[in-house]
Amino acid sequence: MLIPLYLIRAVGESPSATGWLMAPLGLGMMCTYPWLGKLAQRFGIRGTSAGGASVAFLGTLPFLYLSSQKFNLAILAATLFIRGVGMSAVGVPSISAAYASVREEELPMATTSLNIVQRLGGPTLTTLCATFLGWRLAAIHSSAGVASAFTTSFALLCVLHALLILAAAKLPLSLERIRRPLAADRFVANRDSIAE
């Protein structure tokens, strides 16, 4: 959300040109998705997700430069491509780990819960970033002030990406290390507690 607004408001691009300028982000994602299975096998769930979050963080840092200096199309394209590569490597392994840790009979409820969390999490952070940017822009009327508002907003985005790296580092190493509790395990646990 911040990047298209930056391109329209600070750089002066039209909405249609902004759409085309965002294309490297999708291209980066498309290049990574076919390799996610092999990456997860080689580096594990934690390594793939944390590595992807780190790459996305590195792909966000140049926006601090772009928003405070003169706009550079080559830097924008490379940065968006890197961000796309990183962000695509976070989601799929994380969701796979979440589903692998749930008992089979609880998968329908887990699917609903995960869907709710995704639908609430994205808009909540988008609203946080938009509110912060709006607050910064409300007090500023010069072009230098607009650039400053976007620089601080991108700094907030970098902080959120750093938190994503920390969260990804808490994922299990691999799907094989996740032990899905079975109904038989619950039966034994219940039998033992009744016997006591």
State how far the Cα of 58 lies from the Cα of 73, in Å rounded to an integer. Answer: 17
Q: Give the pLDDT mean for 104-114.
A: 83
The neighbour count for residue 69, using CB atoms within 10 Å, is 11
Listed range (144-148, 162-166, 179-183) with the worst mean pLDDT? 179-183
Highest mean pLDDT among 47-51, 92-96, 145-149: 47-51
21-46 pLDDT, tens digit per residue, is 999 999 999 999 889 888 888 888 88
CA-nearest of 43, 36, 55 to 96 is: 36
* pLDDT exceeds cutoff 90 at 98: no
Query: Look-up: residue for tokens 């639908």?
Result: 119
Pick the CATH number of 2-177 from 1.20.1250.20, 1.10.220.10, 1.10.10.10, 3.40.50.150: 1.20.1250.20
182-196 pLDDT, tens digit per residue, is 544 554 454 555 555
